Structure 1
Amino acid sequence: MFGKKFCLVFLILAVSACSSERNTFTNRAFHNLTSHYNAFYLADTRIREVENEVIQNYKEDYTQILPVFIPIDSATIDSNEEKLETSRELASKAIEWHRISKWVDDSYYLLGKIDYLQGNFDDAQNTFKYVNVNGKDDDLRHQTLIALLRLYVDLEEYEKANFTIDYLSKEDINDENRYELYRTLAYYYESRDDKNGVLGALDKALEYEQDKKESSRINFILAQRYQREGLDALAFDFYRKAQEGNPPYERSFFAQLYAQQVAELNKSKDLKKVRNYYEDLYKDPKNKDLKDVVVYEMALFEQKQGDTEKTLQLLHQAAKEPGSNPRQKGYIYQKLAEINLDEFQDYRATKYYLDSALTFINEADPSAKRIREQKENLDQYVFHVERIEQNDSLLMLSQKSPEEQKLIAENFIKTEEERLLREAAADQEEEPKSIFDNLLAFNDRGTTSTFYFDNSLAMQQGAIEFRRTWGSRPLQDNWRRSSASFQDTNPTIPEPASADSVSVEDDNPLSQLPDVDELLGQIPSSPEDIQTLNSELEESYFELGKLLYFDLEETEQGIDNLETMIRFYPESQRKPEAYYLLYLAQKDRGGNSQQYVTRLNQEFPDSRFTFSVNNPDAASGNLAYLKSSEEYEKAYNAYFARNYRESRAIVRNALQQYPLTRNTERLMLLDIMNTGKIESKTNFRARLEDYIDNSQDSALVELAKNMLYPLLSEEELAELNPTKDEDEESGKGAEKNSADESEAIDLTDSPYKVNNSQTHIFVITMNEDVEEAAESLLGDLENFHGTKFKGKRLRNGNMKMQETAIIIISPFNTAEDADKYYQVFLEEFESENLPEEVIQSSFYISIENFQTLNRTKNIEEYKAFFRSTYK
């Protein structure tokens, strides 16, 4: 009986202890125990497992300064989504089921960490702030604020970061948190490119670090940074310390290598000793996956000795060596590009080496962005140079007899067979035992011949690219299809086989070669094909001339290409601009620039380039743009008021005072529009056609075409639009147009222009009665934005335009963004008492066009422009 009573009492106590409401000693003890080990501990363990996996999956790049924090890899986070969600569930249970335990705040902190890892920065920030405000444990609050500081740095919210740093600097922080704080401070300074700040913060972090492996990493970062600053003695000490604490072998290897560099190798006059040191590293079997690094470092050493040839040889060998870090290959190719550009001004080789570098360097790497920027001009240069070489060679081949063409193709294949067999035999020879024995002659700069079948490297690349693109296929009649491989070629420089070699179908080296029919099939035969090649040549000579003069600062070569275009293509539409560029180039070199002034005035008196050379001292730059904008507005207002001669006078005066600003093409088109009102239709049409051929602004060209169409005959229109619908051909289209004529607005004189990259706003228009009835509209818009466009920070505003009420939603970065909003708005937006026709008549408009609309107050005119342009 007593036993039953005891069990009952025990059961009552146990049940009462489970209550999360009663704040008694028994309850607190129970909830502290269960929340800690049943929820918090398990959640924390899983989060740490994910963090460790991020660290393990990250490949350290010891050739670059290591980052303070290892970047969080989204792929690793995504692959651990289930584990993190389990952690979230456990932490949430610790909060919901054990509200009186002391682990509630810690569990909130874990929720913040999960959101941070998953990239939910707003939620993480709110959670961290909650713990800071409501947390009872100062150490936990400090830990949370340090996590919040790192988040602010991620988001580049430096003012908030500064406030957090200032607050923490006044707090009494334990050693564990102080270590994390100094590391996070180093991350803050790293983000702001404050080198001294990073050094100071990491140096302080070492005072509180307990993990020797992590100390090794920090010491390595400090050594790298001191070495970059030229403080070799300090760098040497930290490299030595980085080898302590049983670090990973790769870090130990680089620490030893760089320590030797700063201590001896960079200062040694005994070149044989240095080379022997690298030789020993190369032969060490422990470094079999680091041979590319050893050879690369040796190449850098030889570069310091001024031996460019040996440097190139070593770099090419480094690209072939095995390595554990793919990015290392990217740095090797980047160095090859640098030398080819600086030493030889070889733009083609530079471009292709940079292409190779980008295949190994991560797209998010800052150096990748710099390479892409550097490559922009080089890509264009190589494209036009190779197109000129190929098209010119193919045109010359097209003039030869079929027998001569066949003989040239057969001789080429025979020569290539011999070369490939020689190379295959050389590849089978025993590999050199030393990195300095029998270095491969990779820096062959290729034949100087530009004739297609005489340039073996160009032909090899073309043949290999043909097989890579099309495979083994029968000859076809369509030459353009068979010559597609010519439009995108590879570099005419040898490339390391391990990285960029062309894969072949089998081990036979001759399998790369095309047959005679494939080669002959690439030679143009029809007048249309020849005309296509000539059009491409004309364009490439012109664009290459511009590029060489403006971007690559190769004035002489630029002049040569522009003069070649004028000589070979005297009827080119690009001739006025070519004259103008030659005028500028000759002025720069002190040559005869006046000859081009004379030619422009004689051949193209109405050209905008003629305006410019006749007024060489006219204002330029932003001031000229602003002034010409004011003149354009005056001229347009005069045109709109039907004062065409006054408008023309303003335009021509502006063109003479401010030639070649961003307004020039607009002014030229307005001048042509005045011609259409003052002079004959023949003159109007001729000037429009000339403008369409020469203008670079696609939006203005489209507007000019709209003006030209009414001046064309039915036959000319049919030529321009050969695929008209049947109803238009039968006259039904004309009937439809006449039915809509009452609401149509003439767009040929439209003051609006397309600028899709400009900021846009979305507009809803309605009369005052509808505005009054739709009193919930603004609130409905807020709800719509919060549901469909959360995080876009859209703003609402309203204004009046005469008798029309206007609701404005902004901003949208581009027309594309505005159109996405527009489509969702039409399909899903609803507001009480707002008619459907108001929703359907909404539109978006660029800021520039809205300024014009605000001046003209003609909403229907813009709606017509909007329908014709965007819908």
Structure 2
Amino acid sequence: MKNTQKTLILVIIFATIYACGTKKDTFISRNYQALTTKYNVLFNGKQYFQEGVNAINEEYKDDWFQQLPIEPIVFDEDEFVIPKYNNGPGTGFGNSRKKEEVQKELTTFEKAEEKAIKAIQIHGMNIDGYERNRQIDDAYLLLGKSRYYSQRFVPAVEAFNYVIANYPQANLIAETKIWRAKTNIRMDNEETAIETMKLLLVVRDTLEAHLPDEIKEQGHTALAMAYVRSDSLQKAKHHLQLATRTLNNRAQAARNLFVLGQMYSQEGKKDSASLVYQKLIDFKKAPYKYKIHANIELAKNSPNDSTANVVLEKLQKLIKDRDNRPYLDELYYQTGVLHQNNDSIQLALDYYNKSLRAEKGGDKQRTFTYEKLGNISFKQDLYQQASAYYDSVLQVSKDTLNLRIRRIKRKHKNLASLIKFENIVAKNDSIVRIASLSEDEQKQFFENYIEKLKTADEEAAQIRLNQLDFGDTNNGLQSADKGNWYFYNNQSLSFGKSEFQKIWGTRKLEDNWRWLEKSTIGGGTKDSAQTKKVNLKYDLDTYLSTIPTEISEIDSLKIDRNQALYELGLIYKEQFKNQKLAKERLVRVASLQPAKELMLPINWHLYEIYTNLGDVSSAEKYKNVILNQYPNTKFAQVIQNPNTKFEEEVAVNEIENTYKEMYYLYKENKFEEVITKVDEFLPTITNSELLPKFELLKAFAIGKFKDKEAYKTALEFVAVSYGNTEEGKRAKAIVAQLEK
């Protein structure tokens, strides 16, 4: 009896297994395979797929300064993976993976792909050319979607095509067509994608059956993607508008709204953009990153009228909200922009600096903030400060090919020569002024300077000491039973000792220990070598020994300073069009008895500057100097014949002949004469194409009888002033060689 029962049970089990097999078209087998596929294999595959999508959304970093892509994913368009194996319709591969591919850890999308293939190969019920397992179409859709995110577009299209060809009545056929269209877009087949999407959204939706809102959103989003890729932005906007009529997919809907607002902003349609951004702000289910940036974009589009105050108040509320800490750099920056637009420059500067100090500030945001600060400094004639800000932009930015960064780089280069000449003037003025003092005055000057150094160093050392945590008993520096006294902290004590020795040396504990003359421990010699070595920066004799005493050395400093002042006058006048600063530099150099060859061009430039400023009496002064002292020069001819364009009076061949004459002088080693003649001739050919040649020849002449620094300075002027010419490029190359 027992054997009969066992046999019966085995028969029932085998019969059940047979009835549930994939080769038998029965009610039990169809439902068993469908349930197993849906709640086992496909469930796990969809879980892997969703994990991969979530990871992409979390890792993708949006560049809010540019138009966002409609789909938040970046594919390498040079990498398309085409399979060389195919063990099933639309599967792309079977169990014949290469060993190295199996050993390599699979991505979540590859795991999802394997689950889809397993569902197709193990649970498929293709009987008499008809698939009996109603879950297999879902498996093919999952397969195609997984390949899409793995950037295997060709096999992805195969999977989608298989669904469309073999399951035309499936409830997921519309979604499959949308994914196929997106894949075609990635393969640069935008026309095919547009055609199929129009058939789906127009023909099927109107003639056959109304599509669900979710499918319409996906379809119009895909069409917008296709039109963006084909540069049909008006049509892209139209379909983004249709895609955002309903907001079922909150993440994609919010993104579509933001991109649509950006498109309106780029076209200058601020009102339309503001309406779209406001709709996004009011969309309660939208991800917060889109809402906060919609507020920022709304502020950018605000007009400079009474509404600007309302926008400023809103930004202030957003700044006070603790949830907005990750966005403070952008909020502070935009607040600064609004204040700058309202001519509240000091408030703008305060907020720009707050933006830079924000803890979670991004590098790209910092480049915009530094640029704004640089531009403000430039407009206020603070060129050295502007150069420092532009340099910060270049230090922070990683995108050296960006047109904005390249423009800032050119600005920074143009300021380089100006700053160098300003530094020469400041340094030489200081040395000449100190050299002109009496010995007692020089000593007093440096004693005061040394005392300031000591005070500053002591304060800096004390600040560093205060920054240490003297009272933290958990840092292992003091035992738990001791107090917070400074001398119980070994680290603080050691630091203080080293700071003391760095400033004062190893001195005996005695009265008046701070005196410089006190000897160090271990030696009784006054002003010993060790003391001098330790206290070199506080040694009065060290500073006094650096003061030039030779008249020739002081005269050389004055010549370099005067030349720098003259070059500054030209740079301010010609490059930066700052007549005020150009006038100040040239007037000053004229009062310092510069080299004889500079007097004529100085008077000429000052005549032009005062004429442009409308100061007739001052212009008349320099005009008379030229007419009386240099009556036979071209400058005098220009003044006497103001209605004749001087550059037209000098023929091109005459300019070329003049250049040849100067070049022959250069070959004859008459370098000083070359420089004099070039300085006299240059103002007469301000618009000539040969101007860079004369400047470069002058630089070469300077290099022959002056020092390396003067040569380098002259070359840098040519490189900066005529950077796009052959002469400018040549000068730049020589400067690079000199710096090696």
TM-score (normalised: structure 2): 0.51
Structure 2, unmatched stretches of 5+, are 1-40, 94-139, 155-163, 166-176, 202-217, 468-501, 506-533, 679-689, 707-721, 732-740
Return the letter of the residue paired with 1:68: P
Q: Does 1:323 align with 2:351?
A: no
Structure 1 segment 16-55 matched on structure 2, within 5 A: none
User: What is the identity, as a one-letter code, of the residue corresponding to 1:691?
Assistant: V
Q: Distance in 1 between matches of 2:72 and 2:387?
A: 30
Q: How do 1:400-799 residues align onto structure 2 when only pairs under 5 Å count? A: 400-415=437-452, 515-516=538-539, 523-524=547-548, 530=554, 533-590=557-614, 591=616, 616-618=642-644, 656-658=649-651, 666-670=656-660, 690-691=673-674, 695=678
Say if 1:615 and 1:657, in contact at 8 Å, map to a contact too: no
Query: Secondary structure of the equivalent of 2:396?
Result: coil
Distance 1:702 1:204 in 2: 63
Q: Distance in 2 between matches of 1:375 and 1:515?
A: 36
Judge conservation of contact 2:377–2:386 (CA < 8 Å) in 1: yes
CA offset at residue 392 of structure 1?
A: 0.8
Partner Cα separation in structure 1 for residue 407 and residue 254 of structure 2: 31
Q: Which residue of 2 aligns with 1:182?
A: 224
Q: Deviations over 1:26-50 (max 9, x none)?
A: xxxxxxxxxxx9xxx9xxx99x98x
State how far apart, in whole Å, the 2-side matches of 1:247 and 1:573 are.
72
* C-alpha distance after superposition, 1:122-158 (max 9, x if no partner): xx9xxxxxxxxxxx999999667744659xxxxxxxx
* Match of residue 211 from structure 2: none
Q: Deviations over 1:203-223 (max 9, x none)?
A: 356579985423322312333
Mapped contact 1:293–1:323 kept (Cα < 8 A): no
Q: Deviations over 1:709-767 (max 9, x none)?
A: xxxxxxxx9x99xxxxxxxxxxxxxxxxxxxxxxxxxxxxxxxxxx99889xxxxxxxx
Contact 1:330 1:356 in 2 (8 A): yes
> What residue identity is the alignment partner of 1:254?
H
Equivalent positions of 1:136-535 (< 5 A) are 146-147=185-186, 172=198, 179-186=221-228, 189=231, 199-200=237-238, 202-203=240-241, 206=244, 212-224=250-262, 226=264, 229=268, 231-232=270-271, 235-241=274-280, 244=283, 249-256=288-295, 281-303=318-340, 307-342=344-379, 344-364=380-400, 365-415=402-452, 515-516=538-539, 523-524=547-548, 530=554, 533-535=557-559
Q: Decide whether the 8 Å contact of 2:220 with 2:242 is kept in 1.
A: no
The structural deviation recorded for 1:100 is 10
Deviation string for 1:751-805 (max 9, x for gaps)? xxxx99889xxxxxxxxxxxxxxxxxxxxxxxxxxxxxxxxxxxxxxxxxxxxxx
Report how far residue 183 of structure 1 moved. Answer: 2.6
Structure 1 partner of 2:62 = 60
Relative to structure 1, the CA distance from residue 247 to residue 171 in structure 2 (aligned partners, 3 Å threshold; closer, same or farther) is closer
Are the aligned partners of 1:222 and 1:235 in contact in 2 as well (CA < 8 Å)? no
- The 3 A distance-change label for structure 1 pair 185 and 266 is farther
Kept in 2: contact 1:179–1:209 (CA 8 A): no
Query: Which one-letter code corresponds to 1:668 in the other structure?
Result: T
Partner AA of 2:658 in structure 1: M
Distance in 1 between the 2:302 and 2:694 partners? 65
Question: Percent same amino acid at aligned positions?
Answer: 15
Residue type of the alignment partner of 2:224: Y
The one-letter amino acid paired with 1:384 is: F
Q: 1:261 to 1:410 in 2, by over 3 A?
A: same
Q: Is the 8 A contact 1:59 1:325 kept in 2?
A: no
Partner of 1:481: none
Question: Which one-letter code corresponds to 1:325 in the other structure?
Answer: G
Aligned-residue offset at 1:396: 0.9
Change (3 A) 1:555 1:300: closer
Structure 2 CA distance, aligned partners of 1:601 and 1:331? Answer: 51
Q: Assess if the C-alpha contact under 8 Å between 2:227 and 2:236 holds in 1.
A: yes
Change in CA separation of 1:210 and 1:419 when aligned onto 2, cut-off 3 Å: same
Q: For 1:311-333, what per-residue CA distance to the aligned partner results, in whole angstroms no more than 9, with x for missing partners? A: 43333333323224233333333
Change over 3 Å in CA distance of 1:692–1:426 after alignment to 2: closer
Q: 1:567 to 1:303 in 2, by over 3 A?
A: closer
Q: Is the 8 A contact 2:85 2:92 kept in 1?
A: no
Confirm or deny: 8 A CA contact 2:432 2:554 kept in the other structure. Answer: yes
Deviations 1:372-398 (A, max 9, x none): 344444444333333322221122112
Alpha-carbon distance change, 599 to 245 in structure 1, aligned in 2, over 3 angstroms: same
User: Displacement of 1:578 after TM fit?
Assistant: 3.2
- Contact in 2 for aligned 1:336/1:353 (Cα 8 Å): yes
Question: 1:221 & 1:539 partners in 2: Cα distance?
Answer: 55
Contact 2:181/2:196 (8 A) holds in 1: no
After superposition, the Cα gap between the structure-2 partners of 1:700 and 1:348, relative to the gap in structure 1 and judged at 3 Å, is closer
What code does the residue aligned with 1:371 have?
A: I
Contact 2:224 2:237 in 1 (8 A): no
Q: Classify 1:305/1:618 alpha carbon distance in 2 versus 1 (closer, same or farther; 3 Å).
A: closer
| Unaligned runs of at least 5 residues, structure 1 | 1-36, 78-83, 118-123, 125-135, 151-163, 431-470, 475-510, 625-655, 677-681, 709-716, 721-754, 760-813, 817-871
Task: Tell me if structure 2 keeps the 8 A contact 1:219–1:239.
Answer: no
Contact 2:548 2:554 in 1 (8 A): yes
Call closer, same or farther: CA 1:112–1:247 in 2, change over 3 Å. Answer: closer
Aligned mates of 2:404, 2:698 — CA distance in 1 = 43
Cα shift readout 1:260-299 (whole Å, capped 9, x = no counterpart): 898999856988x965x65654444333333334444444
Equivalent residue, structure 1, for 2:209: none
Return the index of the structure with the highest Cα Rg. Answer: 2
Post-superposition offset of 1:545: 0.9
CA RMSD of aligned residues (A): 6.3
Residues 553 and 242 of structure 1: is their aligned pair in 2 closer, same or farther, counting only changes over 3 Å?
same
Contact 1:584 1:593 in 2 (8 A): yes
Is the contact between residue 262 and residue 273 of structure 2 (CA under 8 Å) also seen in structure 1? no
| Cα distance change, pair 321–516 in 1 and its aligned pair in 2 (3 A) | farther
How much has 1:59 moved relative to structure 2? Answer: 3.8
Cα displacement string for residues 180-212 of structure 1 (whole angstroms, at most 9, x for unaligned residues): 45235336659xxx8x67744643565799854
Report the 3-state secondary structure (helix = DSSP H, G, I; strand = E; otherwise coil) of the residue aligned with 1:359: helix
